[in-house]
Structure 1
Amino acid sequence: MRQKRSQIAIWPAGLLCLVGLVLAASPASTAAALRVPFRDLLRPGQRILVDVQQRVRDWRSAPQFQAEEYAELEQVRHDLASAELRERKLLAENATLQQERDTLQAEMRIPIAKQGSLPLVVPNLLSANVLSKKTADHLRQAVAIDVGNRDAVDPLAYVLDGEQPLLDQGATTGIEPGQDVYSARNVIGRVDTVGRWTSSIRLITDPEYQALARLARKSDRGMLWGAAGRLEGDGAAHCRLRSIEATQLVSVGDLVFSVQGDGALPHPMFYGRVIEAELRPGAVEWDIRIEPAGNLDALRSVHVLRQSLNPLRMMAQ
């Protein structure tokens, strides 16, 4: 059976060979007359073969073209990302050089002798103890018995209530809302509400606490001061530093100090250290997380910054 099929498959090829021999042996006029019908007979098959060959070439070349195009696109993206990273590094280095230049210029300035003058307002640090919750509750109970029933005075006017830390100093010692609270050189918070005998502290980790703060970094030439931003509490145990532009140089471990405003203290006070600094792609400012310097949960004593008239200035009048 297989032999018969092979013989049948060979017949078309043999027939074509025979036709070719006949055309070759025929006179030129006869061969020319027969060549045209045979060419017309074979033309549909030739067209199909040419079309198949073209489709195969297109199929083979299309994936290669797409792969090359995709590779070129990825290379362009990589080059753009590298260029953006280099630009940010150059901007950060430029900001650092400008800071160093400003520091050197300040060091090279020749001081001009001026006649000294006494300031009208001078800082005055008042020591205060942080009351435990148990002690505060005991004081409220004692005040309610001694004052509230006798004079119909609200005991909270003497000893405040609430979850904020309480100080054992109040309005009778010149404590006022908004005064800054320190522990050594560390910023703890500021006075929130004031009673007659006690006052409460809004800690720097409180979400409603806000203040200006400045980045700093130690170097061989001393302290290099960086950009200033807005410090806010995160409501947990840390702070955030906002409004620091992406062109500024920020690193984990940088120091954060208060910004001297009215010159109440001769030097800036310490907030803490940068523990996270992230600059997301396309962001215009840094996302900075700060760990407070002081142990806010273990406070026992603090200092409240008050301002008073300079007695020497009063005596000079």
Structure 2
Amino acid sequence: MYADDDVERQIRAELSRVVDSARSRRSLSEHAERGDDDVTRRHLSELGILEAMLPDEPGRTGGRLRHVLAAVEEAAVGLVAPDLLPSALALWTGLAASWPGITQGEILSGPTTVAWPGVLAGAESVRRAAEDGSVTGRLGYVPGGLSAQHMVLVLPDPSGAVVSLVALDKARREPLQVLDRSRPAAVVELPSATTRELGRLSPADLTRLRSGWLAAIAADCLGGMRAAHDAAVGYARQRTAFGRSIGSFQAVRHRCADMFVDVETTRAVVRGAIAAVDEGGEDAPALSLAAASHAMDAFCRVAESSILVHGALGFTYECDAHFYARRAYSNAAWLGGVNALRAELATV
């Protein structure tokens, strides 16, 4: 585990301001579904959040996954910036391929998504032509696919995988009906799309890449958990029953305490995984699997408990608690799901 450095503290402070000034969760979800949350997107672009992941250059601090995942975590608190996680995964993937063009901002110029058939994307069939590198196929689940201008695509080959940048200007996109409306997704069909090879990844590179993906989804879970827990505690303090705050009742107190334990244990394991990935530690694959599986499970528990603490109000659409439950259940299905990740962890 590590303490925030100056860059992270600044990122968290800026994202907290974005969350505090955001519209209601319901309004954010409606804008996200339409892919037109331009205010938040422009604000994050001005802050240069993704640039924090770039390698150090003269006059620039960056090159660490932890800086961008601090932003991912804070964005999840308010369920803002639906493009941030897929764009961060795309940039991390491009960096894994040692793509020099990233530093010139080719990914950073607009919303970018990512697909990795067999890991994330629900690919039914994707083929890469050996002659010109064009890609044809159908991707059944692409987060941020409605608004993305480019896609970073990971396709296996005999030596590991090839990473390509795909222009989505001619792609056919169909909105998906997803549980988490604050993070829209699409079916994307690529009719012989033009690609540019960014680099090739060895099996060891792929392992580190996936560890970063797992740490990212765990950070997203942590942010949502924090918000769900804070909302429950805040409501328990202000809501009264039988002349006393409901937070004074033992059952409610214990449930809030259990939520707090889930949040803090998740914070510890997520930070440990991020540090291991950044440092290239041998334990990074195991720690990232542990972090993701624990965070997914704990987020579901905390989101459900938040609904229960809110009582009858928690089961209504007017209460924000259900938005976090939607994010929790959706995250729990990413990258194979909790059970698959734990089964894999047992073999590491």
**Same topology, TM > 0.5:** no
From the two aligned structures, give the one with the greater strand fraction. 1
From the two aligned structures, give the one with the greater helix fraction. 2
Larger Rg: 1
> TM-score w.r.t. structure 1 length?
0.20
